[in-house]
A and B are shown apart, each in its own frame.
Chain A
Amino acid sequence: MSVYESRSEERQSAGEQERYLQANNEEFNSMFGYPNNTIKTSKYNIFNFLPLNLFEQFQRLANAYFLVLLILQLIPQISSLAWYTTVIPLIVVLSITAAKDAIDDLKRHQNDNQVNNRSVLVLMNGRMEKKKWMNIQVGDIIKLENNQPVTADILLLSSSEPYSMTYIETAELDGETNLKVKQALQVTSEMENDLNQLSAFNGEVRCDAPNNKLGRFTGVLTYKRKNYLLDLDKLLLRGCTIRNTDWCYGLVIYTGPDTKLMQNSGKSSFKRTHIDHLMNVLVLWIFLFLGCMCFILAIGHSIWERKRGYYFQVVLPWKDYVSSSFVSAILMFWSYFIILNTMVPISLYVSVEIIRLGNSFYINCDQKMFYAPKNRPAQACTTTLNEELGQVKYVFSDKTGTLTRNIMVFNKCSIHGTLYGAVYDRFGQRVEISEKTEKVSFSYNELADPKFSFYDKTLVDAVKRGDPWVHLFFRSLALCHTVMAEEKVEGELVYQAQSPDEGALVTAARNFGFVLRSRSPETITVVEMGKTIIYHLLAILDFSNVRKRMSVIVKTPEDRIMLFCKGADTILYQLLLPSCTPLRDVTMEHLDEFASEGLRTLMVAYRELDKSFFGAWFRKHSEVCFCLEDRESKISSIYEEVEKDLMLLGATAIEDKLQDEVPQTIKTLNKAKIKIWVLTGDKQETAVNIAYASNLFEDDMDGLLFVEGKDDETVEKELRSALYKMKPESLLDSDPINSYLATKPKMPFRIPEEEPSGNYGLVIHGYSLACALEGNLELELLRAACMCKGVICCRMTPLQKAQVVELVKKYKKVVTLAIGDGANDVSMIKGIGQEGMQAVLNSDFTFCQFHYLQRLLLVHGRWSYNRMCKFLSYFFYKNFTFTLLHFWYSFYNGFSAQTVYDTWFITFYNLVYTCLPVLGLSLFDQDVNETWSLRFPELYEPGQLNLYFNKKEFLKCLVHGIYSSFVLFFIPMGTVFNSMRSDGKEISDYQSFSLIVQTSLLWVVTMQVWTVVVGIALETTYWTMINHLFTWGSLGFYFCILLFLYSDDGVCIILPNIFQFLGVAKNTLTVPQLWLSIVLSVVLCVLPALGYQFLKPLLWPLSVDKVFDTIHGLRHPLTYPVRSKLKMTGSRRSAYAFSHKQGFGPLITSGMFMKSKWPRKNITHKK
């Protein structure tokens, strides 16, 4: 026991360095004190919920502030307000939050329970026994069956499928729905399902300590004195589901909290919006302001006490602890601190949360962003960022799968210098392919995919003719890939491909008669023109983003060893034999042609290998494969040894169709002054072409600027010339930015917007970008890029994508939005690191089609932003007005911290009386309806410039609040001063005065909602109805409460000390002066605000105001005009792409499902 304890302590203190375990040896494994497989995502239990939750809540500044206030209020010397004025709102706020937390946690508890109590078969003493998930220990061997979720992170030992392959679905982990294959080690897979062998298995595993890197696992299995290397291909991660595999056995390596899934969960960084930041700054300002006011009032009190209070002691003696006016002033400072606490609105944060939640709900429920084919609505995963959507200035978009559909269609090819795929009519004129064009019939091939269509007969003729090059070309397509074929029904093949490009190529080969039938780890079965031929697979040199190519080495039935390679033309270009230069030039011409049509291109080549050369190479290869250190770079250098002197076969062209309405969307977004940067791994020409197709670049642009230098100097020169072209003066020293840079080179600062001389587009190459980012050219790059209308960064690595986003965020300080669908976009979405596979997990908003983006930004984003801004202005205004009244009153009550209102009014003001108009304003306000905001994207602009709520607006609120409070104090004061009721009794008593003031205050504040709403734009009838309801409802509610609290019967009599305003309602509400004074106050407060709102667009017009005018002019909302698609002209250069993911690697399959793979877009915000 002592050993165990010391070890486990060690583990905790030093952190686990390495995981060491032995299969089937519970005693040994327990020495390390690994946790069991229980997971706990819940935060609280019944006993610690209250203290823990309260503790967490009081860590919030606002709540802590109110706790301090509460304590202050309990000190009788300075308590100027009854304790319940603070306690009731605080309790309400706390309990709302606590209830939300409790519900969330309850769900987590249920989830945990359900998961922990799932049962799984565990090997115990030679038999399989059912055990609960939570009781699984490290080192156990468990059996998983088809469609079961994986219990823990386990090492795959054996499975029912040939070669111990196991298919898993990782949707829960990374959102990808295609199946992945894992394969066990040869040595363990031999045990199959022999329980005796499995129980005797005593392999020892040494591997990484638990970590959160989903893409990495290295370890060594020691079994029968031999070492076997372990990698991610042998590890089944918790969160995956077993598919297409009857059973598999695995050794538990990481359990419960140590699993990669759990290590990855939680700890999500909390994104704060601009408005959050602004709000925090403003709250600080308010604090300062509050401090100032308290100080002024304390001084006032001190003077009053000396001049008046001292003599007034006849009536009101100083208390024992007040020895001088100075002491009294200090106490009064705190008393005022309590009274004026409403300046810092406690309910602000809660209300903001509620509003955001409501707006997220709108997004989730929007039927127009619901994608029916996938049955998936748009979703706001992070609810706190809605208003940022209304402020987006830069959109960083991935191309493949985001702008395009990610459905690849084999379109054209060039084989040995001949171009196939284009259709010509009888006169040799090229014909546009349309619905009517006759499709090629693949009737000779019974395994053909009926969905495949091709229009050029000559290629089929060539195949039928037995052209050796054409045959070799398609053979290579049928062999060089990592696609897996599934044949559930005889003759019905379904391919499961890692990348859609590969799928398209293999499907093409299939239709032309080179059908991939099945594959195993060592063979590939291809039906070539009806004949079944089995190739021996010797090696797969898999694709990687660096290599940009992949190869297979096979042994043909004729005992020749062939290497087939396909890859990006720029790479393959350099690896070809010099002898095929003429062919290469012809092929390059064809590639240019393909590229000009926006097709994705690949080059295909082959090489015949000498047997002895291959033997030697293969030995080296296997050695390197078992090497632990630096394996990847060694492997790639080994690969390079064999991938050279290639013979060119031809090239393929694949069409990647644009998604629906992409050009329109981009055009709309452009009009909204949102700049779109496309960050893609594609080749420059392809990217440019897509940019033209999608309207990102337009024909009438003044020029495209290319930056494609490969070293610092060229890049610098290119950037400078670009800058010169767009804005000649920007290079001069006199330019303000340059002079600023010269003086303060190191300071972080914000680059202002610059106006270019025309419409330009910038295209920058990956390696130029690397130079620019490394070589202190960041600023030049950024200035050039930001002046352009559209920017395309091609050949980007995921890390570079993130760097670009970082760059803009750093110097522009604007809201950016990154959108992408795949693992390679995650880093840009997260903005940090490059751990892949978590696209969905890391996104803030998800939706299915690119064109939903305009709705998300222009409609929902704009609304959210406007609502939030109006809410904040209004909220601050109403609280200023409310609180500042005390300030004015102080001058008339000897600065004695007397409140103007009844304590109950203070308690309920934010909570009840004014919450309805606020909610109505912030949840239902639509200044213009959705049609208009899509029709006039210009309306989006104020959000980007942050015009509707900023420090200036805040000051306006403050001034307005001061004015209103002034009016609200002095009008009632004038009214009650020495004035009588009609029965001669006076109405100038304190309680009547309070009632008049608070009633007028509530009227004014409620009416002010109208100016906020009406002021900015025309109102819709929709809003008017709801507004009426909420405004009058709220006022009505106030009077109900008033009558209840202040009437002369009911509960109020029982507790006369708490309900002191007994009978005031009855006596004062009947007085005509009250109503006259209310009307006067409302008029005086609302009219100037209305006048200001009316004059503002006339005197200081914003660009949006014109739009509002236009909207006013047009009575009926127009339907959104459908723009005709821009036609592509063939004049543009475009090019070759090889966008491809790492393949299934050396894993092979015989059966798979095909799942339609619609990309899901992930968006994330950056500040």
Chain B
Amino acid sequence: IKELGHDYTGNPGTGDCSLCGVADQDRAPPPSCRCAWNFSLSELFQGPVYLYYELTNFYQNNRRYGVSRDDAQLSGLQSALRHPVNECFPYQFSAKGVPIAPCGAIANSLFNDTFTLWHQRLSGGPYVEVPLDRTGIAWWTDYHVKFHNPPLVNGSLALAFKGTTRPPNWPVPVYQLSPDPNNTGFINQDFVVWMRTAALPWFRKLYARIRQGNYSAGLPRGNYRVNITYNYPVRAFGGHKRIILSNISWMGGKNPFLGIAYLVVGSLCILTGFVMLVVYIRYQDQNDEAEDQE
């Protein structure tokens, strides 16, 4: 299993994105900024390859953050759409009193950096865009069962969301997240992925799958560049952003923990087993002797 990662938080002096990182300070929403990550592969990166983004020090598991959502609204219930639950506060209503859809802190803080991957087959040659599959990154159940758009009004999603406003940090309303009608609104897959909050303050989320065209078998040899649209501010709270390319085995991604743990525990078991055997035999003898003496 192979994994490639790059920290593009942009702390001063750490490379290409530092300009963006400095620029984003204290502005919300920050102006978009572009930077890039270049890397080269000397051999084939075995597919299928997945593109993740990783955030650290981001407390998606904070209780107040975690409850700040309205599942009823997200499941497309009309009534909930215009009456978000109180947990969403302060992202329940906009300053003008218009209900926010989707409401809550989770939705408001939707990760909005975008990545594109370019491949330079020969050095000096042109960069070719590697197609990124942005669908099928969310759980099937989330996408099909848990999240629904509200019923269309006159065939228009925009009308369905009439009377609501976008979350303050968002540049666009929810129905414009994607031009694809199956991937916009509440069922935008980026959004769905984001809404499945992480258990720990360091987490990865799937950004895209690379499985199309020439790249279905993996990323071939060559130079690559990831163009990053740097929108998302993390430096304020000491967070980091990383972009990761990884492939997958039957056991999932690269996580040596279980393997190591099993080895350690197994050897410990054998060791203590021996110790106990020794102790058992010794004390058994002693007890027998004591009994004999009695």
Chain A residues proximal to chain B, CB less than 8 Å = 76, 80, 308, 311-312, 314-317, 319-320, 335, 892-894, 896-899, 971, 973-994, 1048-1049, 1053, 1056-1057, 1060, 1062-1063, 1066-1067, 1071-1073, 1076-1077, 1080, 1083-1084, 1087, 1091, 1094-1095, 1098-1099, 1101, 1106, 1109
Q: Is the CB of B272 within 8 A of A978?
A: no
Q: Closest CB-CB distance, A844 to chain B, in whole Å?
A: 40
Q: Is the CB of B255 within 8 A of A893?
A: no
**Contacts A315-B65, A984-B50 known; 16 new A-B pairs at CB < 8 A:** A80-B63, A316-B62, A892-B200, A892-B201, A893-B62, A976-B200, A978-B254, A979-B254, A980-B252, A990-B199, A1048-B145, A1053-B75, A1053-B145, A1056-B72, A1080-B258, A1094-B276
Residue B279 at the chain A interface, CB threshold 8 Å: yes
Q: Is the CB of B199 within 8 A of A993?
A: yes
A894, A971, A1057, A1071: the one within 8 Å of B59 (CB): A894
- Known contacts A312-B237, A314-B236, A898-B66; decide if A989 and B199 are in contact (CB<8 Å): yes
Q: Closest CB-CB distance, B94 to chain A, in whole Å?
A: 14
Q: Is the CB of B237 within 8 A of A1073?
A: no
**Residues on B with beta carbons closer than 8 Å to the beta carbon of A980:** 50, 204, 206, 246, 248, 252-253, 255
Q: Is the CB of A1099 within 8 A of B283?
A: yes
Q: Is the CB of B258 within 8 A of A981?
A: no
Q: Is the CB of B237 within 8 A of A986?
A: no
Q: Is the CB of B201 within 8 A of A316?
A: no
- Known contacts A1066-B141, A1099-B283; decide if A893 and B61 are in contact (CB<8 Å): yes
- Known contacts A308-B238, A896-B63, A1091-B276; decide if A973 and B200 are in contact (CB<8 Å): yes
Residue B205 at the chain A interface, CB threshold 8 Å: yes
Complex Cα distance A778/B75, Å? 79
Nearest CB to that of B257 among chain A residues? A974
- A sample of 19 cross-chain residue pairs with beta-carbon separation below 8 angstroms, ordered by A number, consists of A308-B238, A312-B236, A315-B109, A335-B63, A892-B200, A893-B62, A894-B61, A976-B199, A980-B206, A988-B199, A989-B197, A990-B66, A992-B199, A993-B199, A993-B200, A1056-B74, A1063-B145, A1066-B141, A1067-B139
Complex Cα distance A979/B254, Å? 6
**Residues on A with beta carbons closer than 8 Å to the beta carbon of B66:** 898, 990
- B49-79: CB near A (< 8 Å → 1, else 0) gives 0101010011111111110101110110100
Q: Is the CB of A312 within 8 A of B261?
A: no
> Which of B59, B146, B199, B204 has the most chain A CB atoms inside 10 A of its CB?
B199
| 5 closest residue pairs by CB, A with B | A1063-B141, A980-B253, A993-B199, A979-B255, A974-B257
Q: Is the CB of B200 within 8 A of A898?
A: no
Complex Cα distance A1080/B144, Å? 34
> Which of B86, B138, B196, B283 has the most chain A CB atoms inside 10 A of its CB?
B196
Nearest CB to that of B86 among chain A residues? A76
Q: Is the CB of B261 within 8 A of A1048?
A: no
**Residues on B with beta carbons closer than 8 Å to the beta carbon of A312:** 59, 62, 236-237
**Residues on B with beta carbons closer than 8 Å to the beta carbon of A986:** 52, 198, 203-206
Q: Closest CB-CB distance, B77 to chain A, in whole Å?
A: 8
Q: Is the CB of A990 within 8 A of B197?
A: yes
Nearest CB to that of A1090 among chain B residues? B276
Complex Cα distance A308/B197, Å? 19
Q: Is the CB of B279 within 8 A of A1095?
A: yes
Q: Is the CB of A898 within 8 A of B72?
A: no
- B252-283: CB near A (< 8 Å → 1, else 0) gives 11110110011001000100100010011001
Per the 8 Å Cβ criterion, residues 70-100 of B in contact with A are 70-72, 74-75, 77, 85-86, 89-90
Q: Is the CB of A1098 within 8 A of B59?
A: no
**Residues on A with beta carbons closer than 8 Å to the beta carbon of B89:** 319
**Residues on A with beta carbons closer than 8 Å to the beta carbon of B74:** 1056
Q: Is the CB of A893 within 8 A of B197?
A: no
B59, B145, B249, B253: the one within 8 Å of A978 (CB): B253
Residue B153 at the chain A interface, CB threshold 8 Å: no
Complex Cα distance A985/B200, Å? 16
Nearest CB to that of A1047 among chain B residues? B141
**Residues on A with beta carbons closer than 8 Å to the beta carbon of B75:** 1053, 1056
Residue B142 at the chain A interface, CB threshold 8 Å: yes
Q: Is the CB of B90 within 8 A of A317?
A: yes
Complex Cα distance A983/B251, Å? 10
Q: Is the CB of B261 within 8 A of A974?
A: yes
**Residues on B with beta carbons closer than 8 Å to the beta carbon of A896:** 59, 61-65
Complex Cα distance A1049/B141, Å? 10
**Residues on B with beta carbons closer than 8 Å to the beta carbon of A892:** 61, 200-201
**Residues on B with beta carbons closer than 8 Å to the beta carbon of A988:** 198-200, 203-204
- Known contacts A1077-B258, A1091-B272; decide if A978 and B201 are in contact (CB<8 Å): no
> Which of B66, B251, B252, B265 has the most chain A CB atoms inside 10 A of its CB?
B252
Q: How many contacting A-B pairs (Cβ < 8 A)?
A: 210
Q: Is the CB of B196 within 8 A of A991?
A: yes
Complex Cα distance A986/B192, Å? 13
**Residues on A with beta carbons closer than 8 Å to the beta carbon of B205:** 986
- B132-156: CB near A (< 8 Å → 1, else 0) gives 0000011111101110000000000
**Residues on B with beta carbons closer than 8 Å to the beta carbon of A315:** 58, 65, 105, 108-109, 237
**Residues on A with beta carbons closer than 8 Å to the beta carbon of B255:** 974-975, 977-980, 1073
Q: Is the CB of B61 within 8 A of A990?
A: yes
Q: Is the CB of A979 within 8 A of B252?
A: yes
Residue B209 at the chain A interface, CB threshold 8 Å: yes
Complex Cα distance A153/B75, Å? 74
Nearest CB to that of A1105 among chain B residues? B287
Q: Is the CB of A978 within 8 A of B203?
A: yes
Q: Closest CB-CB distance, B280 to chain A, in whole Å?
A: 6
Residue B127 at the chain A interface, CB threshold 8 Å: no
- Known contacts A311-B237, A315-B105, A980-B248; decide if A893 and B145 are in contact (CB<8 Å): no
Nearest CB to that of B248 among chain A residues? A984
**Residues on B with beta carbons closer than 8 Å to the beta carbon of A1080:** 258, 261-262, 265
Q: Is the CB of A987 within 8 A of B63?
A: no
Complex Cα distance A574/B206, Å? 108
Q: Closest CB-CB distance, B186 to chain A, in whole Å?
A: 12
- Known contacts A978-B202, A1080-B261; decide if A316 and B65 are in contact (CB<8 Å): yes
**Residues on B with beta carbons closer than 8 Å to the beta carbon of A319:** 64, 89-90
Q: Is the CB of A897 within 8 A of B63?
A: yes
Q: Closest CB-CB distance, A1057 to chain B, in whole Å?
A: 5
Q: Closest CB-CB distance, A486 to chain B, in whole Å?
A: 64
Q: Closest CB-CB distance, B63 to chain A, in whole Å?
A: 4
Q: Closest CB-CB distance, B112 to chain A, in whole Å?
A: 13
Q: Closest CB-CB distance, A24 to chain B, in whole Å?
A: 76
- Known contacts A978-B255, A991-B196; decide if A1057 and B85 are in contact (CB<8 Å): yes
Q: Is the CB of B279 within 8 A of A1098?
A: yes
**Residues on B with beta carbons closer than 8 Å to the beta carbon of A976:** 199-200
B52, B200, B249, B284: the one within 8 Å of A977 (CB): B200
Q: Closest CB-CB distance, B144 to chain A, in whole Å?
A: 8
Nearest CB to that of B249 among chain A residues? A982
**Residues on A with beta carbons closer than 8 Å to the beta carbon of B59:** 308, 312, 316, 893-894, 896
Nearest CB to that of A1094 among chain B residues? B276
Residue B48 at the chain A interface, CB threshold 8 Å: yes
Nearest CB to that of B280 among chain A residues? A1098
Q: Closest CB-CB distance, A61 to chain B, in whole Å?
A: 29
**Residues on A with beta carbons closer than 8 Å to the beta carbon of B233:** 314
Complex Cα distance A316/B272, Å? 48
**Residues on A with beta carbons closer than 8 Å to the beta carbon of B108:** 315
Q: Closest CB-CB distance, A299 to chain B, in whole Å?
A: 17
Complex Cα distance A993/B68, Å? 19
Complex Cα distance A1087/B258, Å? 18
Q: Closest CB-CB distance, B190 to chain A, in whole Å?
A: 13
Complex Cα distance A979/B255, Å? 6
Nearest CB to that of A971 among chain B residues? B261
- Known contacts A311-B237, A314-B237, A977-B202; decide if A985 and B139 are in contact (CB<8 Å): yes
- B35-58: CB near A (< 8 Å → 1, else 0) gives 000000000000010101010011
Q: Is the CB of B141 within 8 A of A1048?
A: yes
Residue B28 at the chain A interface, CB threshold 8 Å: yes
**Residues on A with beta carbons closer than 8 Å to the beta carbon of B48:** 984
